[in-house]
């Protein structure tokens, strides 16, 4: 029993390295980081579990240890739109946490996930004592806003090939992606919900790109083989419109 506790503590400590190495928290003084770790709770979630829903209270901040979380919204008619996929080493849930208002999207485990969860009642007072960390969260919010603006611009101005190319390139910018072949764990239905086109149109375009060796299609994944060609297509798609 004692050994089991030691093993669990050791695993928890090693996973805290994700927070320790995160750009947000890496500059914290050791005492401040130790204090932050005392607030952290560890959570395991199965694929498909709803973490929070649009309209819920923003009472927690989340950090992904492993797996992927889908940020999405839906219409009254049941149409879904995927706004972002949050992967290992990323944080989410910061908007409602900081302004103490309702959640702006649904967050759903897109795979089996491990998360760190920090309660707002503990994190906000901690943030007040760490101005450099507060500044990093301001920068995160700015980055989210820029990404949203770019996404809206792509949907309005780009044709389907340009829009799809832009989405794939954006997804390959996630952490842990190697430079050469970049695997995106996403289904064609999910990518269709991200770019606002039918799954059939997405499949037809991806098949054409696979024939040109720009991508490789795998079960539940897309491997980008030629990012440069997709970049040119994304630029051309915006200009053509």
Which of 120, 154, 188 lies at the terminal end of a domain, its last residue?
154
Phi, psi at residue 30, to the nearest 5°? Answer: -50, -45
Q: At what angle do helices 188-195 and 160-172 cross, to 10 degrees?
A: 110
Above 50 in pLDDT, residue 3?
Answer: no
Largest CA distance in the chain: 66
Sheet of 113-119: strands edge to edge? 40-45, 113-119, 60-66, 91-92
Q: For residue 64, give the CATH number of its domain.
A: 2.60.120.10
Q: For residue 230, give the CATH number of its domain.
A: 1.10.10.10
Domain span at residue 199 reads 158-240
Could you tell me if 235 and 127 lie in one domain?
A: no
Q: Summarize pLDDT for 145-180 with one digit per residue, the tens.
A: 888 887 777 777 778 899 899 999 988 876 544 444
Could you tell me if 108 and 96 lie in one domain?
A: yes
What pLDDT score does 48 carry? 94
What pLDDT score does 202 carry? 94
Could you tell me if 120 and 164 lie in one domain?
A: no
3-state class (DSSP) for residue 63: strand
Could you tell me if 146 and 232 lie in one domain?
A: no
Q: Are strands 91-92 and 60-66 parallel, antiparallel or unpaired?
A: antiparallel
Could you tell me if 11 and 99 lie in one domain?
A: yes
Could you tell me if 190 and 207 lie in one domain?
A: yes
Count of domains for the chain: 2
Note whether 213 and 225 are within 8 A (CB): yes
Measure the N-to-C terminal CA separation of the chain; round to a whole number of Å: 65
Please state the rounded mean pLDDT for residues 81-94.
89
Q: What are the Cα distances from residue 45, in Å, to 35, 64, 108?
A: 25, 11, 10
pTM: 0.78
């Amino acid at each position: 029993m004692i050994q089991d506790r030691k093993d669990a503590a050791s695993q928890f400590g090693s996973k805290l390295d994700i927070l320790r190495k995160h750009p947000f928290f890496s500059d914290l003084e050791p005492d401040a980081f130790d204090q932050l770790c005392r607030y952290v709770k560890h959570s395991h979630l199965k694929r498909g579990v709803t973490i929070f829903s649009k309209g819920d209270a923003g009472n927690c901040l989340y950090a992904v240890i492993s797996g992927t979380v889908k940020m999405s919204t839906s219409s009254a008619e049941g149409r879904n739109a995927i706004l972002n996929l949050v992967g290992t080493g990323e944080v989410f849930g910061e908007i409602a946490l900081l302004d103490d208002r309702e959640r702006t999207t649904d967050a759903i485990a897109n795979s089996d996930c491990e998360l760190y969860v920090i309660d707002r009642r503990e994190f906000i007072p901690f943030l007040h004592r760490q101005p450099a960390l507060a500044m990093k969260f301001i920068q995160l919010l700015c980055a989210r806003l820029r990404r949203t603006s770019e996404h809206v611009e792509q949907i309005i101005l780009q044709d389907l090939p340009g829009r799809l190319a832009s989405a794939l390139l954006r997804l390959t910018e996630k952490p842990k992606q190697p430079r050469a072949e970049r695997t995106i764990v996403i289904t064609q239905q999910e990518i269709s919900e991200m770019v606002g086109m039918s799954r059939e149109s997405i499949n037809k375009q991806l098949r054409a790109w696979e024939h040109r060796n720009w991508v490789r299609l795998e079960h539940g994944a897309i491997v980008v083989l030629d990012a440069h060609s997709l970049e040119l297509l994304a630029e051309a798609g915006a200009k053509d419109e």
